[in-house]
Amino acid sequence: GQSHLGQMASAFFVCLLLLQTTVGHAVAAFTNGPAYVEYDRAATQVGLCLREHTDPTARIAYTWAGAMPYYADRFGIDLLGKMDAYIAKAKPQIGFEPGHNKWDYAYSIDAHRPDIVLQLFRAKPGDHAMIAGRGYDPVARTWPCLANTFLTPEDVFVRRK
């Protein structure tokens, strides 16, 4: 009856939405290439650079956890907190952007004491000074293998010994 027709119409519209989304991504990938390919290449380069220039026991904090920690083969700390219960339960810093809307740099640095802090997501005025005040120095691309990546000179901090 009427409810069966409504269910079928709803299912039809869900299928259309999924098809449009899938086809849209496929067309974009075909015409523009897969999303983030250049960033993934650069992240791989950064990870290999970190492996080359850090001790195997180094603890590295990232905002883009993925290729960088994988290729660095070092202990990774996810600054966006997807794997940190404290950050996961924290209030969002920005609107609805799942996986990219919660962070607390002061907490993450104090609680996990990374040897290297790599990248800040949507840094606010004072974030870099806060990190420096906790015993970190910017390395300002002193490693040539970080050149020609998406990192800016203020994106890499090393803990003072």
How does pLDDT run across 72-111, given as a tens digit for each residue?
999 999 998 778 889 988 889 888 877 788 999 999 999 9
Q: Cα separations (Å) of 98 from 4, 92, 94, 103, 135?
A: 34, 9, 10, 12, 31
- pLDDT of res. 123: 87
Q: Is the pLDDT of residue 1 over 60?
A: no
Cβ-based neighbour number of residue 126 at 10 Å: 9
pLDDT at residue 55 in the model: 94
Task: Give the closest residue to 61 by CA, choosing from 149, 160, 157.
Answer: 157
Q: Whole-model pTM?
A: 0.74
Question: pLDDT tens digit string along 6-49?
Answer: 777 777 776 666 666 666 555 655 666 666 778 888 899 999 99
Q: Provide the β-strand partners of residue 78.
A: 62
Model pLDDT, residue 107: 95
Q: What is the sign, positive or negative, of the torsion defined by CA atoms of 118, 123, 125, 130?
A: negative
- The Cα-based distances of 43 to 2, 98, 139, 143 in angstroms read 54, 21, 18, 15
Given a cut of 90, whether residue 116 has pLDDT beyond it is yes
Q: Rounded mean pLDDT of 141-152?
A: 76
57 or 148, higher pLDDT? 57
d(CA 147, CA 127): 23
